Structure formats: C-alpha cells, structure tokens
Amino acid sequence: MKQLRQVEPTYADLLHGRFWERQNVTQMVTSQRPLAQSERSFYNQQNAAIVRFTQQLLQAESEARQLDHVNRLSAHLPLASYDQLFGVEHTVNTLVDQLADAAQHQILCIKGIGGIGKTALADQAVRRFIPQATSLRNLVWITAKQTYLTEEGIHGQGGQVRLEQLFDELGSKLELPEVLRLPLAQKVEKLATPLRAEPHLVIIDNLETVEDFRSLTPLLIQLAGPTKFLLTSRQTLPALKRVGTVELGEMSRAVALRFIEHAAHAKDARLVDAERLYDLVGGNPLAIILVVSQLAVAPEKVVYEGVRLGNLPDIYTYIYREAWRMLDDVARNVLFAIQRAGDQADWHWLVTICAIPASSLQNAIQQLLALSLIQVQQDAKDRRIYAIHRLTSTFLCAEVLAWK
C-alpha cells in the first residue's frame, strides 16, 4: 500500500478508506475521498484501484522471486577478490551474451597468463548473468587445484585422479553423494541425468594443465546442453566445435595507468610513478598490485631498481622473493597455514593451527596484507576470511621451499 500511495495516492486513499477503515460506499461518496460524484463513478474508481493494487502486488512478488533467485545462485560464488575491474567491460558483456545464448558454445574457456584476472572476470560475468538467467536451475563453482603443500613438501595429483576429484566435487555440490563411489565413466553418466535435464552453470576455475583439458573436455561435452561450463586456465582448450575460448590479455597502457593510481590509493602508496611502473611490469594486474604494495613499505629506488634488474619472464619470482624477504618467520608460517587450508582461512582456524598468541597473529596478518600476499573477504556469515591468490599459492609450492 505504501508503494501504491507513492505512485497513485488517490487509489491508495480509496482502498484504505473502503477496506481498512471499512467505510461504506455512501460514506465514501459523501466525503468525496475518491473524488466521485456518484456511486457508479465510485465503483469505477474502486475497480481501477483494485486492478492497480493487484498489479503492484504481482510486481512486488515477481521482484521478490527474482531477488531470491539471484541470492540463491550468488551464494554459490566465491567471495569476490576485487572491488573494481578495469578495461574488461566489453569482455564481460561478451561472456554474458554467450552464456545467455543457448545456440552459442556450451563450453567456454577464459585463457590468460597467471595474475591476469581470469577468476575475477569469470566471477563478474557470472554475477551479471545470474539476474537474467531465470531458468537456471543451479550454479556450481569448483576450483581445480593442482598441487598442495604440507610440512613434508609439495604433493600433486595425476590426471585421472584429478578428473575423479573434479567430478566428485561436482556430485557433492549437486547433492548426488553416490557419485563418489562410482568409477569415472559412471560418475559422468550419473551427473548427466540432472545436467542434461535442466540448465545449470558449472564454473571450473584454475584448470591449469593441457593434459587435464584433453582428458576433461570430451567428458564435459557429454554433460553439456542445456548446461553450460565456464573454465579458466593458462592453457588453450582443444579446438572442438562446442568449445569457445575468450583470450584475456594485459591491460592497455591507459587502463593500466588508471589501475596503478587506484591500487596506489588503496595501499596509501604516495610515491608511485605510474608511467615508470608500467614500463617495468606491463599491464598485469597482480604484478602491479604486488609492486605497489612493496612501494608502500620499501624505498622507491630499491623497489624500482630491483624490478628493473629482474628479467621479465621471472618478474613474479623476483616480486615474490622480495615480498618473502620482508616477512618475519611468524608471517611466513601464517601464509603457509592459509595455503594448507585451501588458500583461505578464518581467524579462529589460524589461531588454532599456528598456536601463536592473537597479538602475534595480528601482526603477521598486517604484514601479509601490507604486501598484498593475502586479502580480507567476508563469507555468507559475515566472518572475516583471509585468502591468498592462486598464483601466490603456486609460488609457495614452486619457489618458496627452495628459498627457505
């Protein structure tokens, strides 16, 4: 009724007097509340008011269903790791259009080098797609993690095991626990039942090896339609008819300069020469953030000279090595703890697993935040979650043990 009063105050006044105050028709006409000159004209106005009120209710119900649909599907997405994206608006729109068009590729892959923003791009495209995807039955987001770190060292999984784990997770998220007990071929057959019956959207993030693609893609084709798959990887998918690839390259100079200014403001790094930084590291978002973070805590000359001396193919190695060097032992152990927890952990878990005082953990967290090695997110229960970028996790496995 409040909404009706905002757009049709006369109708709202009529309905309130007639049905809330329970005035009869004679009283309403006499008081001229609906501005009616006769009972006949009153009934005409009353009918029009009821129609308008019904339309208002139906619209409110539709909006509530839409909001519930968006919230239900969005709850399956990971916590956003960005506050703003730069220079990818056209690419986001392209992905949304392809996801929405049933005639387009049923398997899409976002390809780009590490740190280029593939996960953020996929996340943004899916969030834009959800409100218009009214027939979408469910959404599943899976992170394909190739290696993990323990105190004994680095461990990896073979291709066949990797595929089984992916399909097990897909089965679990679709509430099909029986999938876990089946061999690979039967897993696919079991998953095909819901996925081929109703449209789903399955995102597989960080699928980083060609071998996985060659093994996985034919299996996904068996599950696609009307379901769609969105993948991210540093490698290119095999050239198949039902598979499409979106290339994500570095930011242009103009976009990168805006991003550098944004990152410098966020990190309170006041002495950042954006042109010089771009000339050194190019338009890779993660590289920019990492260098800006060092500029916020270390002398400008030292940081720029160090980046300049490092050859470009190994720029990440240099950046991470310098960041690692700036950490004390407690902060290093906390970073490893977050990585072992699956690249994200909350405060209470870290206090327990690291067995250190809260004050020491707080200091370690501040060091890691200052160098952009972790970021703070909030989960659905508003808990603070400390997360590390997938590339950071990869470098922990591939490089840091050697540095230690």
pLDDT tens digits for range 231-244? 998 776 766 778 89
Q: Are residues 243 and 95 in the same domain?
A: yes
Q: Are 86 and 259 in contact (CB under 8 A)?
A: yes
The residue among 121, 127, 111, 125 whose CA lies nearest residue 77 is: 127
Using the 3D structure, point to which of 214, 247, 280 is the last residue of a domain: 247
Check which CATH number belongs to the domain holding 193 and give it.
3.40.50.300
Q: Are residues 220 and 283 in the same domain?
A: no
79 within some domain: no
Residue 153 has pLDDT above 70, yes or no: no
My answer on whether omega of the bond before 226 falls inside 30° of 0, hence cis, is: yes
Check which CATH number belongs to the domain holding 387 and give it.
1.10.10.10
Number of other CB atoms surrounding residue 390 within 10 Å: 23
User: What's the predicted TM-score (pTM) here?
Assistant: 0.73
Q: Are residues 332 and 367 in the same domain?
A: yes
Q: Are residues 95 and 239 in the same domain?
A: yes
Residue 124 has pLDDT above 90, yes or no: yes
Domain that holds residue 307: 266-403
The string of pLDDT tens digits covering residues 168-200 is 999 999 999 999 999 999 999 999 999 999 999
Q: Are residues 223 and 311 in the same domain?
A: no
Q: Tokens 């050697």, residue?
A: 402
- Strand spans (E) along 215-355: 228-233, 243-247, 344-346
259 within some domain: no
The string of pLDDT tens digits covering residues 44-92 is 888 898 898 888 888 888 888 889 999 999 999 988 888 899 999 999 9
